[in-house]
Amino acid sequence: MITNGKEIALIWYEKLKEEIKLLDKKPWLAVILVGDNPASIRYVSQKAKWAKEVWIQFKLIKRERGIQEEELKEDIKKLNNDETIHGIIIQLPLPSHIDTNTIINTIYPVKDIDGFTAINMGKIALWDESGLAPCTPSGVIHICKVNSIDLEWKNVTIIGRSNIVGKPLVSMCINEWATVTCCNSKTKDLKSHTQNADIVVLATGKPWILTKDMIKKEAFVIDVGFTVIDEKIYWDACFQEISENGNPITPVPWWVGRLTVLFIMKNTLKAFYMQNK
Amino acid sequence: MITNGKEIALIWYEKLKEEIKLLDKKPWLAVILVGDNPASIRYVSQKAKWAKEVWIQFKLIKRERGIQEEELKEDIKKLNNDETIHGIIIQLPLPSHIDTNTIINTIYPVKDIDGFTAINMGKIALWDESGLAPCTPSGVIHICKVNSIDLEWKNVTIIGRSNIVGKPLVSMCINEWATVTCCNSKTKDLKSHTQNADIVVLATGKPWILTKDMIKKEAFVIDVGFTVIDEKIYWDACFQEISENGNPITPVPWWVGRLTVLFIMKNTLKAFYMQNK
């Protein structure tokens, strides 16, 4: 049976803590939060909590929902040029009047903890490990590794083609020699792409798109997506029936969610070292 | 039936020619050729020929096979800083003592005509059209478009995971809303990934890996790969039997090969405009 992601994260946090504790100068992570989306506030507070836990200094910059793109760019440029700040995160989503891609690409690639800038994306595609890789896909690959799943020779089906999960994960799985299929909401006959998969990753935010009849008995399901409707959480997978069917399946909260935050801390330390060579 | 790629390229060359003829200053493309690999010499002469045809100025820089990485980087830096040069291509492959990725990433992204630098790769993944996209994958997408094949809702199987064809093509097809499968030499049961494909792209350089029994009758096959053994050319696909089977299939020389060179010229003009805004 699969091990608990929370525990794996805790082991890593211990290691990070020991390492950072010994540093004379500590890494600093700055997070910009625009508006007051409750989910964003929750995510930011998770980052603050775990940063503190491992001796990473945390700076929160709050901005009004109505902030203009130029002002936000100025905030980022200040952080880019501030030598005491090693990592910058713009909490997504941003209000619709702001172009997310432009904002993200204003961050210096060496401070881009989320790994969303074009150059960090490209480095993943080129299997160049000198960059900062996106944290959720890194978490997914880590889940496979801790479960001794070698992606070589495996069929991996990824449902979702977002810039933050689906696409970088496709590149990472290709690098690991998996045969990768990337599905989206315009995929004809989803089942034909999941039924032979050894690993299925769900990252759509659409409830219950994967049912037990769509996968092999031994397929490993990694659920990254969820939706909140009327304060109730729905996974992308029919978690209960797939789980009862005997398939190994990992839900978001104790798994990928935990590992995403872990990789944010790991990237912050990597960025710190890159800037203090 | 599919139209001839050579003719499509010629139509485009006419357009480019008309446009560039009217420019006061002409775009300049510099190509660095290391060693005397006969295939590389042939590719370079094709570039020179078509550049001349469309009024693009062409500069060839020849270097000995034994050149050191640092010297080659110096050559590129000179071209980067030369305002009269708008595009730079390093003819691949490079000798094994030189790190190809390092050399490619020395090119300024705005002069990177092949579109192989990390930032241009990342822009493709992010569907950011401000960069320069790799030419062979652009040719493949163009082949689909001129044949009125809308990739949305389609299953595309790409065999090959190289940085120059397979990987960027995966990103481009995902952007076009295709369901994309990327296979490699460690794919179990290749046929299971080709039999439901609407489009199969071959880019492996392994002879005859696709036979008629592996695909649907109406599948469109785009062959990008070939191998030369004892002076005989072998396609990746069993061209004859697939063609006789009634499948639309495009061989390299009159199709993708032509379009790759066309997109090199298109990228050079785009780079020229980016540098002369």
Chain B interface disruption, residue of A159, A180, A216, most B CBs within 10 A: A180
The candidate with the shortest Cα–Cα distance to A156, out of A177, A142, A139, is: A177
Asked if the Cβ–Cβ distance from A118 to B123 is below 8 Å, we say yes
User: In the prediction, which pLDDT does B1 show?
Assistant: 52
Residue of chain B whose alpha carbon sits nearest to that of A186: B153
Q: Is A186 on the interface with B (CB under 8 A)?
A: yes
| Cβ-Cβ contacts under 8 Å, A179 against chain B | 181-184, 186-188, 193
Q: Is some CB atom of chain A closer than 8 A to the CB atom of B177?
A: yes
Give A167-199 pLDDT, tens digit per residue: 999 999 999 999 999 999 999 999 999 999 999
Give residue A50's pLDDT: 97
Contacts of B151 (CB under 8 A, 6+ apart): B141, B144, B173, B176, B177, B178, B199
What distance in Å separates the CA atoms of residue A118 and residue A103, rounded to the nearest whole number? 12
pLDDT for B170 = 98
Interface test with A, best of B121, B123, B199 (most A CBs within 10 A): B121
The 3-state DSSP class for residue A183 equals: strand
CA distance B59 to A234: 60
Strand pairing of A155-159 and A226-229?
unpaired
Query: Is the CB of A128 less than 8 angstroms away from the CB of B122?
Result: no
Supply the residues of B annotated as catalytic: 47, 91, 114
Shortest distance between the Cα of B232 and any Cα of chain A, in A, equals: 30
* Residues of A annotated catalytic, as ranges: 47, 91, 114
Q: Judge whether A103 and A94 are in contact, CB under 8 Å.
A: yes
Helix (H, G, I), strand (E, B) or coil at B31: strand
Count of CB atoms situated within 10 Å of the CB of B121:
31
Neighbour-count burial for B233-246, b at 16+ CB within 10 Å, e otherwise: ebbbbbbeebeebe
> Helices marked H in B85-158 — which ranges?
100-104, 118-125, 135-146
Cross-chain residue pair A180–B177, CB shorter than 8 Å: no
pTM of the model: 0.95
pLDDT at B3: 62
- Cross-chain CB nearest to B101 (options A126, A171, A181): A126
What was the pLDDT predicted at A233? 85
Three-state secondary structure call for residue A7: helix
Q: Given CB atoms, is B125 within the 8 Å cutoff of chain A?
A: yes
Chain A interface includes B100 (CB < 8 A): no
Taking an 8 Å cut-off on Cβ atoms, the answer to whether A118 and B117 are in contact is no
Q: Which residue of chain B has the CA closest to A173?
A: B182
Residues B125, A123: C-beta atoms closer than 8 Å = no
Which residues of chain B does A171 touch, with a Cβ-Cβ cutoff of 8 Å? 125, 167
Q: What tens digit of pLDDT does each residue of B7-17 get?
A: 889 999 999 99
Phi, psi dihedral angles at A78 (to 5 degrees) = -60, -45
B135-257 has the same fold as B26-109: yes
| Contact between B121 and A121 using a beta-carbon 8 Å cutoff | yes
pLDDT of residue B233: 85
Check CB contact of B193 with chain A, cutoff 8 Å: yes
Candidate CATH numbers 1.10.3760.10, 3.40.50.10860, 1.10.10.60, 3.30.160.620; the one for domain A23-113: 3.40.50.10860
- Nearest Cβ partner for A177 among B166, B171, B184: B184
Q: Which of A271, A263, A70, A120 is nearest to B122 (CA)?
A: A120
Nearest to B185 by CA among A59, A67, A178, A102: A178
List the single residue in B122, B174, B188 with the smallest CB-CB distance to A182.
Answer: B174
Closest CB from A126, A192, A196 relative to B121: A126
DSSP state, residue B64: -
Is residue B69 packed enough to be buried (19+ CB in 10 Å), middle (13-18) or exposed (0-12)? middle
| Residues B126, A179: C-beta atoms closer than 8 Å | no
**Fold classified for B135-257:** Rossmann fold (3.40.50)
In sign, the C-alpha dihedral spanning A182, A184, A188, A192 is: positive
Neighbours of B79 (CB within 10 A): 22
Compute CA distances B98 → A23, A113, B20, B34, B69, whole Å: 37, 31, 36, 11, 6
Give pLDDT, residue A114: 98
Q: Is the ipTM of this complex over 0.90?
A: yes
Per-residue pLDDT of chain A (277 residues; tens, 9 = 90+): 556 678 889 999 999 999 999 999 999 999 999 999 998 999 999 999 999 999 999 999 999 999 999 999 999 999 999 999 999 999 999 999 999 999 999 999 999 999 999 999 999 999 999 999 999 999 999 999 988 999 999 999 999 999 999 999 999 999 999 999 999 999 999 999 999 999 999 999 999 999 999 999 999 999 998 888 888 888 899 989 999 999 988 877 667 888 999 999 999 999 999 999 8
A128 in reach of chain B (CB within 8 A)? yes
Gap from A106 CA to chain B (nearest CA, Å)? 13
Nearest Cβ partner of B122 from A121, A180, A183? Answer: A121
How far, in Å, CA of B119 to CA of B203, rounded?
Answer: 23
Domain residue limits, chain B: 26-109, 135-257
Look at A170 and B182 and tell me if their CB atoms are within 8 Å.
yes
Return the C-alpha torsion angle B46, B140, B114, B128, nearest 10: 150
A161 interface with B at CB cutoff 8 Å: yes
pLDDT < 70: residue spans in chain B: 1-4, 253-254
Q: Which of A121, A170, A192 sits opposite B126 (nearest CB)?
A: A121
Fold of the domain spanning B26-109: Rossmann fold (3.40.50)
pLDDT at A1: 52
CB A177 to CB B193 under 8 A? no
Which pairing describes strands B57-63 and B28-34: parallel, antiparallel, or unpaired?
parallel
**Residue labelled with tokens 């997914």:** A140
Q: Nearest C-alpha of chain A: how many angstroms from B170? A: 9
Structure tokens belonging to residue A67: 């902030």
Contact B125, B131 (CB under 8 A): no
**A168 contacts B171? CB cut-off 8 A:** no
Give pLDDT tens digits for A69-100: 999 999 999 999 999 999 999 999 999 999 99
Please name which of B22, B12, B2 lies closest in space to residue B258, comparing C-alpha atoms. B12
Q: What is the DSSP string of A87-113?
A: EEEEPSPPPTTS-HHHHHTTS-GGGBT
